[in-house]
Amino acid sequence: MDLPVEERTVVVTNPQGLHARPAELFARLALKFDSDIEVIRESLRVDAKSILHVLTLGAVQGTELVLHARGADAKQALEALARLVGNDFVADEKLSQESPS
C-alpha cells in the first residue's frame, strides 16, 4: 500500500531563526502526527520529530526549508507545521489558551 506523500516549502521568518524553543515547538507538533516527517535544508535531511535533529539544520531567518511527510495524515501535518513556521513559531493552541494579564 502506497502512503500519501506531501511536500511543502517554507521560509523561516523568525528573526532568531529556528533556535531551541521554536525547534521544541516544531518537534512537539510533528510528534502529534502518525506520518513520517522530515525537514530538508539543501542536502541535509532530518527527522522533524527530533528537537536535536531540527537544531542541526542551523536555520536562521530567511532559510528555506522543505517539509516532507509520508503517511495517512501527511497533508494535515504539513499544513500545521507550515502554519507554525508562518506564525514565527507561536503555536495556535498557545494563542487561543492565553488570557490577557
Q: What is the dihedral of CA 48, 37, 86, 50, to 10 degrees?
A: -10
Question: Is residue 81 within 8 Å of residue 30, measured between CB atoms?
Answer: yes
53 among known catalytic residues: no
A 10 A CB-CB count for 29 gives 21
> Which residues face 46 on adjacent strands?
39
Which 3 state secondary structure label does DSSP give 39?
strand
Find the catalytic residue in 19, 41, 70, 75.
19
Catalytic residues: 19
